[in-house]
């Protein structure tokens, strides 16, 4: 590929396909994550990164070598790797005396860091520690959030958005009931965040709707919130902007309720009901002659019969 006046021109068909895959699209591809460790790490951090990589596969890239960088001080190396691997999410693990067992969860916009949130690990149970059958690789999880902080506190709100971006998986048009088997539950309580992973089991209930049970499969994490680097409101709004071609055009006289049911309003001209033709019935036919006159004057009195 040659570059002229800031424009990269492909020389081969392979490089052309590569540039087309990286070009902006109306509907972007699924987000991928890069998982890396810093210059100093512990065995706990290595196990956490491996387990989260197992949850994210195949939409993740795991770096096995150490990267001597500090994202909160200099994020140029993260932006370089993001542009190289076309990843918009990252998870960085490190360990130090000041911040032991440290995780940094973040995302990028236009290959520049948008949000970063630092989390400390207090307790961890790996996938191998919990003896249970696991979900298949690439299963799209269901995300559950519990706790008032996710709705009231600004930092927890941004953390919730970041976790949804990280674990949501690819966009799908339809889901079968048997495919809803992986549940990720996040609870905010007393300043801590508890992450639990479950497998949903469909049991017989004696009716058409199955009975659902949750079985913990791991990993299990107890986290505490540390430093944050949040984007400004203007930049955050710019990152969520949709192109005009994807915005749905508003249709007149059509509305939807809270459940997505579609309602339409029809405008009609005033109808003359006197000319309305209804179904003919024998009981509604007009009688001819005296019967018709008798109906107008009222019913005739009954005559008494005299025996002769």
Q: What is the pLDDT of residue 3?
A: 56
Q: What is the pLDDT of residue 135?
A: 85
Q: What is the pLDDT of residue 291?
A: 52
Q: What is the pLDDT of residue 307?
A: 57
Flag whether the pTM goes above 0.75: no
Count Cβ neighbours within 10 Å for each residue of 229-238 and write b for 16 or more, e otherwise. Answer: ebbeeeeeee
Terminal C-alpha separation, the chain: 127
Q: Are 214 and 200 in contact (CB under 8 A)?
A: yes
CATH class of segment(s) 30-240: alpha beta
In 3D space, the residue among 103, 90, 116, 111 whose CA is nearest the CA of residue 230 turns out to be: 116
In 3D space, the residue among 141, 134, 131 whose CA is nearest the CA of residue 163 turns out to be: 141
What is the distance between the alpha carbons of residues 144 and 43, in angstroms, rounded to a whole number?
A: 29
Where along the chain do its domains lie? 30-240
Alpha carbon dihedral 273, 275, 276, 280, in 10-degree steps, equals 130
202, β-bridge pairs: 212
Q: What is the pLDDT of residue 295?
A: 54
Q: What is the pLDDT of residue 177?
A: 78
Residues of the chain with pLDDT under 50: 292
H-helix segments, 210-261? 233-239
């Amino acid at each position: 590929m040659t570059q002229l006046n800031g424009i990269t021109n492909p020389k081969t068909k392979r490089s052309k396909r590569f540039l087309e895959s990286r070009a902006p699209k109306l509907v972007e591809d699924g987000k991928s994550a890069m998982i890396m460790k810093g210059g100093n790490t512990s065995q706990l951090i290595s196990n956490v990164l491996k387990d989260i990589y197992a949850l994210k596969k195949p939409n993740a890239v795991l770096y096995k070598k150490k990267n001597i960088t500090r994202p909160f001080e200099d994020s140029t190396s993260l932006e370089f790797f993001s542009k190289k691997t076309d990843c918009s999410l990252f998870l960085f693990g490190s360990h130090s005396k000041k911040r032991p067992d440290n995780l940094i969860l973040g995302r990028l916009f236009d290959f520049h860091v948008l949000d970063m949130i630092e989390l400390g690990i207090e307790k961890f149970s790996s996938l191998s520690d919990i003896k249970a059958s696991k979900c298949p690789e690439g299963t799209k999880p269901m995300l559950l959030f519990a706790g008032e902080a996710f709705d009231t506190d600004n930092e927890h709100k941004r953390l919730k958005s970041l976790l949804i971006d990280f674990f949501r998986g690819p966009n799908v048009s339809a889901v079968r009931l048997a495919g809803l088997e992986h549940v990720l539950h996040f609870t905010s309580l007393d300043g801590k965040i508890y992450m639990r992973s479950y497998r949903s089991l469909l049991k017989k209930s004696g009716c058409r709707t199955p009975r659902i049970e949750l079985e913990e499969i791991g990993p299990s994490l107890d986290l505490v919130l540390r430093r944050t680097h949040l984007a400004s409101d203007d930049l955050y709004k710019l990152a969520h902007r949709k192109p005009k071609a994807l915005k749905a055009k508003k249709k007149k006289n059509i509305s939807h309720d809270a459940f997505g049911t579609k309602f339409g309003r029809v405008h009609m001209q005033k109808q003359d009901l006197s000319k309305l033709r209804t179904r003919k019935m024998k009981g509604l036919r007009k009688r001819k002659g005296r019967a018709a006159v008798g109906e107008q004057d009222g019913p005739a009195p009954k005559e008494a019969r005299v025996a002769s």
